[in-house]
Amino acid sequence: MTPQQLRFPGQEITGVAVAIRWTGFCTHSGVLYRHTNGQLFLLHLGGDCDLSHEVFEGNFAWVIPDLLPEEVDEIRNVCRAIARTMPQIHYSFRFDPEAKLDATTLEVISQLAPHGLTCSTFVLAVFNSANVRMIDLKDWQQRPQDEKWYGALWRYMSTNGVDTAHLDQIRDDVKCLRVRPEETAAACLALRGELPADFGFCEPRGQEISRAVRAAFDSTWNRSTRN
Protein backbone atom coordinates (compact mmCIF):
# COMPACT_ATOMS: atom_id res chain seq x y z
CA MET A 1 0.00 0.00 0.00
CA THR A 2 1.35 3.42 -0.87
CA PRO A 3 0.72 6.34 1.49
CA GLN A 4 -1.39 7.93 -1.24
CA GLN A 5 -3.90 5.08 -1.11
CA LEU A 6 -4.83 5.64 2.53
CA ARG A 7 -5.85 9.25 2.65
CA PHE A 8 -6.33 11.61 5.51
CA PRO A 9 -8.38 14.83 5.71
CA GLY A 10 -7.41 17.47 3.19
CA GLN A 11 -7.45 15.20 0.16
CA GLU A 12 -10.38 15.31 -2.20
CA ILE A 13 -13.18 12.72 -2.40
CA THR A 14 -15.34 13.26 -5.46
CA GLY A 15 -17.60 10.20 -5.16
CA VAL A 16 -17.38 7.55 -2.47
CA ALA A 17 -14.79 6.12 -0.11
CA VAL A 18 -14.62 3.75 2.82
CA ALA A 19 -13.81 5.66 5.99
CA ILE A 20 -11.70 4.10 8.71
CA ARG A 21 -10.50 5.28 12.10
CA TRP A 22 -9.09 4.07 15.37
CA THR A 23 -11.53 4.94 18.16
CA GLY A 24 -9.07 4.41 21.01
CA PHE A 25 -9.93 0.73 21.48
CA CYS A 26 -10.98 -0.59 18.07
CA THR A 27 -11.20 0.31 14.38
CA HIS A 28 -14.48 1.64 13.01
CA SER A 29 -15.62 2.07 9.41
CA GLY A 30 -18.32 3.84 7.41
CA VAL A 31 -19.17 5.08 3.95
CA LEU A 32 -18.06 8.55 2.94
CA TYR A 33 -19.88 10.08 0.01
CA ARG A 34 -20.23 13.38 -1.75
CA HIS A 35 -23.83 14.59 -1.44
CA THR A 36 -25.74 16.48 -4.13
CA ASN A 37 -25.19 19.70 -2.19
CA GLY A 38 -21.43 19.22 -2.43
CA GLN A 39 -20.94 18.33 1.21
CA LEU A 40 -19.14 15.20 2.25
CA PHE A 41 -21.24 12.91 4.44
CA LEU A 42 -20.37 9.95 6.62
CA LEU A 43 -22.90 7.12 6.90
CA HIS A 44 -22.02 4.56 9.53
CA LEU A 45 -23.45 1.99 11.92
CA GLY A 46 -22.18 2.91 15.37
CA GLY A 47 -23.92 0.13 17.29
CA ASP A 48 -27.27 -1.60 17.68
CA CYS A 49 -29.96 0.51 15.94
CA ASP A 50 -27.45 3.36 15.86
CA LEU A 51 -27.15 4.41 12.24
CA SER A 52 -25.62 7.87 11.78
CA HIS A 53 -25.58 10.21 8.82
CA GLU A 54 -23.49 13.27 9.48
CA VAL A 55 -21.42 15.91 7.78
CA PHE A 56 -17.88 14.56 7.68
CA GLU A 57 -15.68 16.29 10.21
CA GLY A 58 -12.38 14.84 9.12
CA ASN A 59 -11.81 12.42 11.98
CA PHE A 60 -11.44 9.37 9.72
CA ALA A 61 -8.92 8.33 7.09
CA TRP A 62 -10.29 6.75 3.92
CA VAL A 63 -9.63 4.58 0.92
CA ILE A 64 -11.22 5.28 -2.46
CA PRO A 65 -12.32 2.15 -4.35
CA ASP A 66 -11.50 1.65 -8.00
CA LEU A 67 -15.04 1.61 -9.44
CA LEU A 68 -16.80 2.71 -12.59
CA PRO A 69 -18.54 6.11 -12.41
CA GLU A 70 -21.93 4.40 -12.75
CA GLU A 71 -21.14 2.20 -9.73
CA VAL A 72 -20.07 5.23 -7.73
CA ASP A 73 -23.32 6.99 -8.72
CA GLU A 74 -25.33 4.01 -7.57
CA ILE A 75 -23.59 3.82 -4.19
CA ARG A 76 -24.23 7.54 -3.69
CA ASN A 77 -27.89 6.98 -4.64
CA VAL A 78 -28.15 4.17 -2.08
CA CYS A 79 -26.52 6.35 0.60
CA ARG A 80 -28.97 9.18 -0.02
CA ALA A 81 -31.91 6.74 0.03
CA ILE A 82 -30.70 5.36 3.37
CA ALA A 83 -30.23 8.89 4.71
CA ARG A 84 -33.81 9.78 3.75
CA THR A 85 -35.20 6.72 5.53
CA MET A 86 -32.68 6.05 8.33
CA PRO A 87 -33.76 2.43 8.90
CA GLN A 88 -33.26 0.73 12.25
CA ILE A 89 -30.44 -1.75 11.74
CA HIS A 90 -29.53 -4.21 14.46
CA TYR A 91 -25.90 -4.91 15.26
CA SER A 92 -25.10 -8.53 14.47
CA PHE A 93 -21.96 -10.53 13.79
CA ARG A 94 -22.69 -13.11 11.10
CA PHE A 95 -21.83 -11.87 7.63
CA ASP A 96 -23.52 -12.88 4.40
CA PRO A 97 -21.46 -11.67 1.43
CA GLU A 98 -24.74 -11.17 -0.44
CA ALA A 99 -26.44 -9.10 2.27
CA LYS A 100 -28.14 -5.99 0.90
CA LEU A 101 -30.53 -3.34 2.05
CA ASP A 102 -33.97 -3.86 0.55
CA ALA A 103 -34.88 -1.42 -2.23
CA THR A 104 -38.23 -0.64 -0.68
CA THR A 105 -37.89 -0.92 3.08
CA LEU A 106 -34.09 -0.54 3.34
CA GLU A 107 -34.15 -3.40 5.83
CA VAL A 108 -31.32 -5.92 5.73
CA ILE A 109 -32.07 -8.74 3.31
CA SER A 110 -29.99 -11.81 3.81
CA GLN A 111 -30.90 -15.47 3.96
CA LEU A 112 -27.77 -16.45 5.86
CA ALA A 113 -27.53 -13.51 8.24
CA PRO A 114 -30.86 -11.75 8.62
CA HIS A 115 -30.28 -10.35 12.11
CA GLY A 116 -28.20 -7.30 11.30
CA LEU A 117 -24.76 -5.96 10.43
CA THR A 118 -21.55 -4.69 11.98
CA CYS A 119 -20.03 -1.31 11.06
CA SER A 120 -17.86 -3.17 8.57
CA THR A 121 -20.55 -5.35 7.01
CA PHE A 122 -22.89 -2.35 6.86
CA VAL A 123 -20.39 -0.76 4.45
CA LEU A 124 -20.30 -3.98 2.40
CA ALA A 125 -24.11 -4.18 2.38
CA VAL A 126 -24.34 -0.60 1.09
CA PHE A 127 -21.98 -1.51 -1.74
CA ASN A 128 -23.89 -4.74 -2.38
CA SER A 129 -27.11 -2.76 -2.60
CA ALA A 130 -25.51 -0.94 -5.52
CA ASN A 131 -24.49 -4.34 -6.93
CA VAL A 132 -20.83 -3.81 -6.13
CA ARG A 133 -19.33 -6.85 -4.39
CA MET A 134 -16.16 -5.94 -2.46
CA ILE A 135 -15.35 -9.09 -0.47
CA ASP A 136 -15.01 -12.75 -1.41
CA LEU A 137 -15.63 -14.76 1.75
CA LYS A 138 -14.81 -18.16 0.21
CA ASP A 139 -11.38 -18.63 1.80
CA TRP A 140 -11.82 -16.24 4.70
CA GLN A 141 -10.07 -17.45 7.82
CA GLN A 142 -11.45 -17.90 11.29
CA ARG A 143 -9.21 -16.17 13.83
CA PRO A 144 -9.43 -16.87 17.58
CA GLN A 145 -9.13 -13.18 18.48
CA ASP A 146 -12.24 -12.43 16.39
CA GLU A 147 -14.38 -14.75 18.50
CA LYS A 148 -12.98 -13.10 21.63
CA TRP A 149 -13.78 -9.66 20.22
CA TYR A 150 -17.33 -10.60 19.24
CA GLY A 151 -17.84 -12.26 22.63
CA ALA A 152 -16.74 -9.06 24.38
CA LEU A 153 -19.05 -7.01 22.16
CA TRP A 154 -21.97 -9.34 22.89
CA ARG A 155 -21.37 -8.94 26.63
CA TYR A 156 -21.13 -5.16 26.22
CA MET A 157 -24.42 -5.14 24.27
CA SER A 158 -26.09 -7.30 26.91
CA THR A 159 -25.34 -4.72 29.60
CA ASN A 160 -26.22 -1.69 27.50
CA GLY A 161 -29.91 -2.01 26.83
CA VAL A 162 -29.93 -4.12 23.66
CA ASP A 163 -33.14 -6.10 23.23
CA THR A 164 -32.76 -9.55 24.83
CA ALA A 165 -34.59 -11.33 21.98
CA HIS A 166 -32.01 -9.91 19.56
CA LEU A 167 -29.14 -10.90 21.87
CA ASP A 168 -30.48 -14.46 21.99
CA GLN A 169 -30.64 -14.57 18.19
CA ILE A 170 -27.00 -13.58 17.77
CA ARG A 171 -25.44 -15.35 20.76
CA ASP A 172 -23.95 -18.20 18.69
CA ASP A 173 -22.81 -15.84 15.93
CA VAL A 174 -19.79 -14.78 17.99
CA LYS A 175 -18.07 -17.83 16.47
CA CYS A 176 -18.60 -16.74 12.87
CA LEU A 177 -16.14 -15.31 10.35
CA ARG A 178 -15.29 -11.67 10.87
CA VAL A 179 -14.48 -9.09 8.22
CA ARG A 180 -12.71 -6.42 10.23
CA PRO A 181 -13.32 -2.74 9.44
CA GLU A 182 -9.76 -2.32 8.23
CA GLU A 183 -10.23 -5.32 5.90
CA THR A 184 -13.30 -3.73 4.34
CA ALA A 185 -11.18 -0.62 3.78
CA ALA A 186 -8.38 -2.80 2.41
CA ALA A 187 -10.72 -4.27 -0.23
CA CYS A 188 -10.86 -0.75 -1.70
CA LEU A 189 -7.16 -1.06 -2.53
CA ALA A 190 -7.95 -3.79 -5.07
CA LEU A 191 -8.06 -2.85 -8.71
CA ARG A 192 -11.46 -3.04 -10.38
CA GLY A 193 -10.70 -6.37 -12.01
CA GLU A 194 -9.50 -7.88 -8.70
CA LEU A 195 -12.82 -7.37 -6.91
CA PRO A 196 -14.23 -9.02 -4.93
CA ALA A 197 -11.06 -9.12 -2.83
CA ASP A 198 -10.25 -12.26 -0.85
CA PHE A 199 -8.69 -12.88 2.56
CA GLY A 200 -5.16 -13.10 1.15
CA PHE A 201 -5.54 -9.63 -0.30
CA CYS A 202 -7.41 -7.93 2.55
CA GLU A 203 -5.78 -9.32 5.68
CA PRO A 204 -2.19 -7.98 5.31
CA ARG A 205 -3.34 -4.67 3.87
CA GLY A 206 -5.91 -4.40 6.66
CA GLN A 207 -3.11 -4.75 9.19
CA GLU A 208 -1.21 -1.92 7.50
CA ILE A 209 -4.29 0.28 7.53
CA SER A 210 -4.93 -0.53 11.18
CA ARG A 211 -1.36 0.47 12.08
CA ALA A 212 -1.64 3.71 10.09
CA VAL A 213 -4.92 4.84 11.68
CA ARG A 214 -3.67 3.92 15.14
CA ALA A 215 -0.54 6.00 14.54
CA ALA A 216 -2.70 8.91 13.35
CA PHE A 217 -4.87 8.58 16.45
CA ASP A 218 -1.85 8.41 18.74
CA SER A 219 -0.23 11.49 17.22
CA THR A 220 -3.52 13.46 17.46
CA TRP A 221 -3.98 12.26 21.04
CA ASN A 222 -0.41 13.19 21.95
CA ARG A 223 -0.84 16.64 20.38
CA SER A 224 -4.11 17.29 22.19
CA THR A 225 -2.75 16.17 25.56
CA ARG A 226 0.36 18.35 25.14
CA ASN A 227 -1.74 21.46 24.38
Q: Which CA distances in Å does 15 have to 140, 209, 214?
A: 29, 21, 25
Angle between helices 119-129 and 69-85 in degrees, nearest 10:
120
Distance CA 21, CA 50 (A): 17
Exactly one of 21, 44, 53, 76 binds other proteins (CB under 8 A); that residue is 76
State the sign of the Cα–Cα–Cα–Cα dihedral 137, 141, 147, 150: negative
Q: Does 36 bind other proteins (CB under 8 A)?
A: yes
Q: Does 38 bind other proteins (CB under 8 A)?
A: no
Which residues, other chains included, contact 81 with Cβ-Cβ below 8 Å and sequence gap of 6+?
Answer: 106
What is the nearest approach in angstroms of other proteins to the Cβ of residue 73?
4
Each residue 132-171 as x (binds other proteins by CB under 8 A) or -, in order, gives ----------------------------------------
Exactly one of 109, 167, 176, 177 binds other proteins (CB under 8 A); that residue is 109
Residue nearer to other proteins on the CB measure, 11 or 105: 105
Strand 40-45 with 27-34, pairing: antiparallel
Each residue 111-130 as x (binds other proteins by CB under 8 A) or -, in order, gives ------------------xx
Judged by the rule CB under 8 A, the positions of this chain that interact with other proteins are 36, 68-71, 73-74, 76-77, 80-81, 84, 100, 102-105, 109, 129-131, 192
